[in-house]
Amino acid sequence: MFVSFEGIDGSGKSTQLNLLREWFEARGHSVMVIREPGATLLSESIREILLSTKQSITPTAELLLFSAARTQLVEKVIQPARTTNTVILCDRYVDSTTAYQGYGRGLDLERVQAINAIATRGVMPDLTFFIDVRYEQAQQRMQFAEGGGEPDRMERAGGDFFNRVRDGYLSIAATEPKRFVVIDGYRERDAIHHDLVSEVERRLTTP
Ligand SMILES: Nc1ncnc2c1ncn2[C@@H]1O[C@H](COP(=O)(O)OP(=O)(O)OP(=O)(O)O)[C@@H](O)[C@H]1O
Ligand SMILES: [Mg+2]
């Protein structure tokens, strides 16, 4: 099973991914956790470039850099893992590009989809959780986050940007309701985790 986690910055993706990893491991599954961009040397190097505040990056360059990192990840890590029984949990995947570079930066959506198809080689998650919180709620959480530090280049984009990104995610949900599950993320961690587990259990029993 390949599960991805989506949501604006600070929505609680990593928190929920870790809880679900523990849940799978407690049931004897082998689990691979991946973050995007990252998980290969090349992708981690591209991540540094993308999150650095030292330079400006044009929206199209940003699109291509995220996509280059993704395709390396797909070919080197995800495709090999898909031939085994390993559960793959991915912190962000291709929907982030649709939401951030497409809806957020305003790049032409058809062109973004075309690049996404190249970058993923058609490899899509079985299930995607969109942890939905509003920008103000995410901001509030990140303020209290331990070791949060300075906002990275993406996090500096501001409220209007993140509202467009959230609208983008909701549009994806409308077109792909089976794969892309919207979860109300502004609740207690355990309540959210409970919803994720119910959804996973349902998919494990009814393929
Ligand atoms: N349900 C929740 N209720 C309250 N606080 C939460 C909840 N889930 C996560 N948090 C806290 O909110 C902050 C952001 O959570 P987390 O790091 O999981 O988000 P994220 O989506 O992975 O963020 P980023 O995009 O920056 O990686 C953390 O301090 C975390 O402890
Ligand atoms: Mg995170």
pLDDT at 160: 95
Whether 146 has a pLDDT exceeding 80, the answer reads no
Least-confidence region, from 25-34, 69-78, 93-102, 137-146? 137-146
| Ligand 1 pocket test, candidate residues 5, 14, 15, most atoms within 8 A of CB | 15
Provide the number of structural domains found in the chain: 1
CA 140 vs CA 165, 177, 188: distances in Å = 18, 29, 15
Closest Cα to residue 22, out of 35, 31, 10?
Answer: 31
Query: Domain holding 93: CATH number?
Result: 3.40.50.300
Whether 105 has a pLDDT exceeding 80, the answer reads yes
Percent share of the chain, pLDDT over 70: 98
Q: Is the CB of 11 under 6 A from ligand 1?
A: yes
Distance between alpha carbon 183 and the CA centroid of its chain, in Å? 14
Are 9 and 154 spatial neighbours (Cβ–Cβ below 8 Å)? yes
Are 87 and 31 spatial neighbours (Cβ–Cβ below 8 Å)? yes
How many A from CA of 145 to the centre of ligand 1?
Answer: 7
For residue 37, give its domain range: 2-205
How many A from CA of 167 to the centre of ligand 1?
Answer: 20
Q: Is the CB of 104 under 6 A from ligand 1?
A: no
Question: 118: burial class by Cβ within 10 Å (0-12, 13-18, 19+)?
Answer: exposed
Q: Within a 10 A sphere around the Cβ of 115, how many other Cβ atoms?
A: 22
Q: Is the CB of 145 under 6 A from ligand 1?
A: yes
Q: Please write the tens of the pLDDT for every residue from 48-68.
A: 999 999 999 999 999 999 999
How many A from CA of 69 to the centre of ligand 1?
Answer: 24
Residue with CA at minimum distance from ligand 1 atom 9: 12
Give the predicted TM-score (pTM) of the model. 0.96
Q: Which long-range contacts (CB under 8 A, 24 or more apart) does 170-177 make?
A: 170/132, 171/103, 172/95, 172/98, 172/99, 172/130, 173/130
Distance CA 127, CA 50 (A): 26
Q: How confident is the model at residue 148 (pLDDT cuts 50, 70, 90)?
A: low
Q: Is the CB of 15 under 6 A from ligand 1?
A: yes
Distance CA 135, CA 124 (A): 27
How many A from CA of 12 to the centre of ligand 2?
Answer: 7
The type of residue at 175 is: T
Q: Is the CB of 6 under 6 A from ligand 1?
A: no
Q: Is the CB of 154 under 6 A from ligand 1?
A: no
How many A from CA of 91 to the centre of ligand 2?
Answer: 7
Tokens 């990840």 found at: 73
